[in-house]
Structure 1
Amino acid sequence: MLPVKAVREAVITTLIEWHDKFVSVLYVNDESSVTTFHITPLYIPNGFSPVETPDENSGFYYAQFSDSHNNWFDILVIPIENTQETFLDNEFSTYYSINCNGIQAIWGIMSDGSNTLLWERGTLSFQVCGNLDLTELIKISEKIGVE
C-alpha cells in the first residue's frame, strides 16, 4: 500500500515532440496545484554577479548572471499548473536525454556553443542555460534550493 504522502504528490507527465525546427517539451500536472515557492541558487561560480534578479511577485523565478569575460547563465523556474509547454530551438541545436543524480533532463547544445538543461522536479520545471560548459551548468542545477 502506498503512503498517503506518495498519493498526494503530483503526477507529472512529460511529453517530448520533435518538430522540424523546434522541440516541444510538454509537462502535464493533473493532480495538484502549485503553492508558492522560493528559489535560492546555492552555487554561483566565482566572478559571476546578478544582471537580472527575480521579481518575487511574478509567480515564476528568472535570474541572469554574468562575469567580466562575457560568460553568462540564466535560471528559469516555472510552476507546472495543468499544462506547461516549453519550446526549444531544434534547427540550430542538438538535444540529448541525460541523467543527473537520478533526475532525467534534456541537454541542448546550441549552435553558438551555449548549453541548456531542462528538467522537472515535483510541480516545478527548471531550465538552466548559458555559455558555460555542461559540468558547470550541472553544478549550478544541482544546487538550486527550493522552499
Structure 2
Amino acid sequence: MTDKKSGEYYDRVTESVVKVNEIVLGSAASTAMATMYITMAQAAGISSLGTVSTQQNRNILGTATIAAGTGNLLWSGMNDQVAELTISERLKNWETMLSVSEGNDGSSKDAQGSEDNQPDQRAEGEPERR
C-alpha cells in the first residue's frame, strides 16, 4: 500500500482528522467560557429565587405573627368586657349581631330592644320624645 493512490488517500484522511482536531481544540476555550457563563447565570438566578422565596416566607410569618398577637389582645379585652355584661345586655348584643348579619344596619328598634316593649316612663302631660 505504498502506491501513490493509497498515500494520497492516507494523507487526506490524516489531514481531515488533524483539521477536525484543530477545530475542536481551537473552540475548547470558547466553549468552556460559554459553559462557565451559563453556569454562573443559572447560579445567580437560583440564588435570587431563593432570596425572593425566603423574603415571601418571612412576610407571611410576619403577617401571621401580627394577626396572632392582635387576636390575643382583642380576645383578652373581649373576655373582660363580656364578663362584665349582664344576660340582658348579652342578648341585646346578640340580637344586634344577628340583625347586622341579616343585612340591617343594627340600629333598628328591634335589634336594640324595641321601645314599644318598654313601659311608658313619661310623666303625665310630658310630650313624647323621639
**TM-score, normalised relative to structure 2:** 0.19
The structure number with the bigger radius of gyration is 2
- Higher helix content, 1 or 2: 2
**TM-score, normalised relative to structure 1:** 0.18
- Higher strand content, 1 or 2: 1
